[in-house]
Amino acid sequence: MRDICDSKTILFKRLICCSTNVFLSTRRGAWIWNRVWDNGMPVDTVLFTRFNAVLTRFYPTFLINRWAENKLNARFNHDVYGLLPQHRFLSHQATFSDDLPNHIISGRILIKPNVREFTETSAIFEDGTEEDLDVIIFATGYTTFSFPFLENNSTVLDSQRSMFKFVFPPQLEKPSLAFIGILQPVGATIPTSELQSRWAVRVFKGLNKLPSVSGMMDDIRKKREKIEKEFLNNPRDTCRVQYVDYMDEIASEIGVKPNLLSLFLWDPKLAKDIFFGPCTPYQYRLQGPGKWAGARRAILTQRERIIKPLRTRTLSHDQPPYSVPFWLKSICAVLLFVLTLIIIKG
């Protein structure tokens, strides 16, 4: 099998059940995330928060890379396992797999370098080794998006697939076409697609207006420059966005971005969960179009609902487990952030 991404790691589990040997050939390696994060919590509920989004904006890239790579290497050493990539963590989309390192260490999957050439019955790799193969799967992913129904009409979509905020083609006389989900969020795809859909419907109905063509093209150009500066020159990264930042960007267009300052004054309990808790779609149902009366309660009970399916065995404790008070955690987090900035600038 050639190269690594989320869907291919799922295919590995199917192949090892019916194959003597499974070889994984990769050109550049990959950073492997696991879906279960610290304390057994889902990774997106821990990492994709507004608090972490703020830290990401202020912390230097090299520090974030170092932290993330050390964190992932603590689970298993990517170098020892043959997966160490040629790029830093933030430069390219990482791969989710809870099973891949287990299959590698048990010998059910063997990591190989890039393929140099094929013979009738085998593959010769760049390190000179040769392996006899029965089946080869080219898991190279999508190289480009194709929209044959547009008949290559440049007045609708140009050769660079220019879309305002990855949704609206800027050249249309009227905004009658929107692309949903044509992006690569560092986080969940479905919530971003939902917000895109809410925005598109309001534009179609005339409730929201798009900027001028020049204004949209200027926004597109700035985003491209940012992507070229931060990520690899790879098709998977041309539509890459940070989850919380992009959700807030589209929410601002609709008028549903939560007002944290107001919430901290009038509903500090909810504000705390919005800022430090997972950025879920409920946050964009608190106000504005599509407001939902149950959004506040849904946000405040998220953790309970995450844990509830796991409570299939009732445990009795003589005393509740010790936990650090929230106010103390907050002070420590702020002090750590300030100390880091002092070290960097000093």
SS (H, E, C) the chain: CECCCHHHHHHHHHHCCCCCCEEEECCCCCCEECCECHHHCEHHHHHCEHHHHHHHHHCCHHHHHHHHHHHHHHHCCCCCCCCCCCCCHHHCCCEECCCHHHHHHCCCEEEECCEEEECCCEEEECCCCEEECCCCCCCCCCCCCCCHHHCCCCCCCCCCCCCECCCECCCCCCCCCCCCCCCEEECCHHHHHHHHHHHHHHHHCCCCCCCCHHHHHHHHHHHHHHHHHHCCCCHHHCCEEEHHHHHHHHHHHHCCCCCHHHHHHHCHHHHHHHHHCECCHHHHHCCCCCCCCCHHHHHHCHHHHHHHHHCCCCCCCCCCCCCCCHHHHHHHHHHHHHHHHHHHHC
Sequence-distant (6+) residues with CB within 8 A of 267 are 296
Q: What is the pLDDT of residue 155?
A: 66
Q: What is the pLDDT of residue 320?
A: 53
Q: What is the pLDDT of residue 2?
A: 47
Measured between its terminal Cα atoms, the distance across the chain in Å is 48
Burial of 100 (0-12, 13-18, 19+ CB in 10 A): buried
Sequence-distant (6+) residues with CB within 8 A of 64 are 56, 89, 90
Q: What is the pLDDT of residue 154?
A: 66
Taking the mean position of all CA atoms in its chain, how far away is CA 70?
A: 19
**What is the mean pLDDT for each group of 10 consecutive residues in the chain (346 residues)?**
55 69 87 90 92 89 92 94 90 85 90 92 92 83 67 66 88 89 88 96 95 92 85 73 94 94 91 93 95 96 92 72 60 67 59
pTM: 0.82
Q: What is the pLDDT of residue 158?
A: 64
Question: What is the C-alpha separation between 11 and 16, in angstroms, rounded?
Answer: 9
Q: What is the pLDDT of residue 6?
A: 54
